[in-house]
């Protein structure tokens, strides 16, 4: 029986909000030739949302096409900045990943980010060895629930759980037919009675209780 744990990225495995804010501010200055206010708090406020939603929230004064053009430019600059500088890993991350692998879990990342962001996270922090697969909104253009189920199906998982920090993560996991574990390490709250961790090293023990067979639903 193949068992896996799928992770959200921002707020669950690391916090890159400060680095993203710096890279976007630099990108907007280069693109527009002027200072445009982008703060860490603004970035934290949109973490976990799809790229389309982020563009609508942060660049709503522009027409839809211009929003997407600005967002794409910022994301390209962001990927390069993250690849060089990384972000703030949550305490105990690598040790937790090592323990989960030892316990026989396959590990995955499913995030609402752009293409290249997960790769930059893995490359800078040298964590590629721990993860079997990943998927993003940028990779498929689809919502997180679809991507969670996609990864589970193409990896032929029998049992799994999704670990995330927001209500949106919980709803996506539920729609995908997957148990959810709330990481109270990040940006959001969850309005449901679900298992949780308050720090990453607690995950191996909680996963042993709550990783469960997937519901019989399909992305097709």
Tell me, yes or no, whether 113 and 59 share the same domain.
no
Q: What is the pLDDT of residues 19-69, one digit of tens each?
A: 999 999 999 888 877 677 889 999 988 887 888 898 899 888 889 998 889
φ/ψ of 11, rounded to 5, equals: 85, -15
Tens-digit pLDDT profile for residues 154-188: 999 999 999 999 999 999 999 999 999 999 998 88
Residue 125 has pLDDT above 60, yes or no: yes
83: Cβ contacts below 8 Å, ≥ 6 apart: 119, 120, 123, 124
Q: Is the pTM of this model over 0.75?
A: yes
* 187, 165 Cβ separation under 8 angstroms: yes
Q: What is the pLDDT of residues 66-87, one digit of tens each?
A: 888 998 999 999 999 999 999 9
Domain boundary, last residue among 29, 50, 85 = 85
> 63, 85, 107: which is the final residue of a domain?
85
Provide the domain limits for residue 44: 17-85
The answer on 59 and 95 residing in a single domain is no
φ and ψ at residue 213, rounded to 5 degrees:
-60, 145
Does one domain contain both 40 and 119? no
Specify the CATH number for the domain of residue 102: 3.40.50.1000
In this structure, how many other beta carbons lie within 10 angstroms of the beta carbon of residue 65?
A: 8
> Looking at the structure, do residues 62 and 150 belong to the same domain, yes or no?
no
The greatest distance separating any two alpha carbons of the chain, rounded to the nearest whole angstrom, comes to 56
SS3 95: helix
Q: Do residues 181 and 199 lie in contact, with contact meaning Cβ atoms separated by under 8 Å?
A: no
pLDDT digits over 94-103, tens only?
999 999 999 9
Phi, psi of 127 (to 5 degrees): -115, 10
Do 161 and 73 have their domain in common?
Answer: no
> Is the same domain home to 51 and 9?
no
Helices in 2-63 by DSSP H: which ranges? 17-32, 40-46, 51-58
For the segment 194-219, the average pLDDT, to the nearest whole number, is 90
Indicate whether 127 and 154 sit together in one domain. yes
- Which region, left, alpha or beta, applies to residue 49 given φ > 0 means left and ψ of -120 to 50 means alpha? beta
Do the domain assignments include residue 220? Answer: no
Specify whether 39 is located in the same domain as 134. no
220 pLDDT tier (thresholds 50, 70, 90): very low
pLDDT digits (tens, 9 = 90+) for 132-143: 999 999 999 999
Domain for residue 219, yes or no? no
Decide: 148 and 176 in contact? Cβ < 8 Å.
yes
Q: Is the pLDDT of residue 117 over 90?
A: yes
Both 203 and 136 in one domain: the answer is: yes
Residue 28's region, left for phi above 0, alpha for psi from -120 to 50, else beta, is: alpha
Q: What is the pLDDT of residue 48?
A: 78
């Amino acid at each position: 029986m193949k068992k896996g744990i799928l992770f959200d990225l921002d707020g669950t495995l690391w916090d890159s909000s400060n680095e993203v804010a710096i890279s976007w501010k630099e990108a907007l200055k280069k693109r527009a030739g002027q200072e445009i206010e982008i703060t860490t708090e603004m970035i934290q406020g949109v973490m976990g949302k799809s790229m389309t939603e982020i563009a609508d929230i942060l660049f709503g004064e522009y027409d839809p096409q211009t929003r997407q053009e600005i967002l794409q430019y910022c994301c390209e600059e962001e990927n390069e900045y993250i690849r060089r500088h990384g972000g703030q890993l949550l305490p105990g991350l690598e040790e937790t990943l090592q323990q989960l692998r030892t316990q026989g879990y396959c590990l995955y990342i499913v995030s609402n980010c752009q293409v290249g962001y997960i790769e930059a996270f893995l490359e800078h922090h040298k964590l590629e060895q721990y993860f079997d697969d990943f998927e993003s909104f940028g990779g498929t253009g689809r919502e997180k629930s679809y991507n969670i189920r996609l990864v589970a199906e193409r990896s032929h998982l029998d049992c799994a759980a999704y670990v995330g920090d927001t209500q949106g993560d919980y709803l996506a996991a539920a729609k995908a037919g997957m148990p959810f574990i709330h990481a109270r390490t990040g940006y959001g709250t969850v309005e449901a009675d679900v298992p949780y961790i308050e720090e990453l090293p607690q995950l191996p023990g909680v996963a042993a209780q709550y990783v469960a067979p997937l519901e019989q639903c399909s992305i097709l």
